[in-house]
Amino acid sequence: MVTFPMRLLSLSLVFGLLFASASCIKSNREGDEHEPKHFGELQLQRFNEIGGPFSLTDQQGKKFNLADQKGKAVVLFFGYLTCPDVCPTTLMDLAKVNKALGPDAKKVVFAFVTLDPERDSSEKLRDYLINFDESFVGLGGTAEQIKEVTKVFKVGYKRREQPSALGYTIDHSSGTYLIDPSGNLRYIFAFKSKLKFVTEGIRKVANLPVETAEAPTS
């Protein structure tokens, strides 16, 4: 079960976050009053307590560390392979965005994190994602590793048992996270955001310079 700090979200928002877009998070990011509502130029955000380094395993069985992606933008989405609607829709949209980026696509890593490590093996992630875009990275790990990453990004998810051959489904938040070349979360796209807005927002972030720490003064 995912818990959220009470000072960040009221009880009424917790339920909504579990089943709605991650864009519902308001108190953790600055400048929401200037959000363009998916029109015009994306206004970059600074998140106080969402995002951070993590390490999982990709669909080739290799370690994937966010820190190793420095210099590239990372587009991060959480879901599971038997998701009937939100996940395939988002992945189809991201595939279109990746194509629309043109040469800038080389500056972006699109990564899908499974919320169902029990069923979504590396092999299944590989076979599934290739149907959308062969460059997409599928990330998995142990249940505990996945839980830790969802805590970092405040992702809501809950397993629901089903009286069917599927066994269970997973309700989950549907936001897409945009991380800049320095590893900082800069925006959360709502589900079904306009593709032009998403494309140009990712392009903008992908071309940001890598932030460097200032040397201490003597």
For residue 41, what pLDDT is reported?
A: 79
pTM flag (> 0.95): no
Distance set, CA 160 to CA 76, 90, 168, 172, 193 (Å): 24, 21, 5, 11, 27
| Whole-number pLDDT of residue 213 | 53
Quickly list DSSP for the chain.
-----TTTS-HHHHHHHHHS-GGG--TTBS-GGG--TTSSS-----BSSS----EEEETTS-EEEGGGGTTSEEEEEEE-TT-SSHHHHHHHHHHHHHHHTGGGGGGEEEEEEES-TTT--HHHHHHHHTTT-TTPEEEE--HHHHHHHHHHTT--EEEEE-SSTT-EEEEE---EEEE-TTS-EEEEEPTT--HHHHHHHHHHHHTSPPP-PPPPP-
The per-residue pLDDT for range 159-210, each reduced to its tens digit, is: 999 898 888 999 999 999 999 999 999 999 999 999 999 999 999 999 999 9
Which parts of the chain register pLDDT below 50? 1-39, 214-218
Phi, psi of 178 (to 5 degrees): -110, 115
| Burial letters 66-101, b for 16+ CB under 10 A, else e | beebeebbbbbbbbbbbbeebbeebbebbbebbebb
What residue segments make up the domains of the chain, in order of their start?
11-206
CB 27 within 8 A of CB 9: yes
Place of tokens 């700090």: 5
Q: Is 61 left (phi over 0), alpha (psi -120 to 50) or beta?
A: left
CATH of domain 11-206: 3.40.30.10
Name the token pair of 88.
């395939």
CA distance 168 to 94: 26
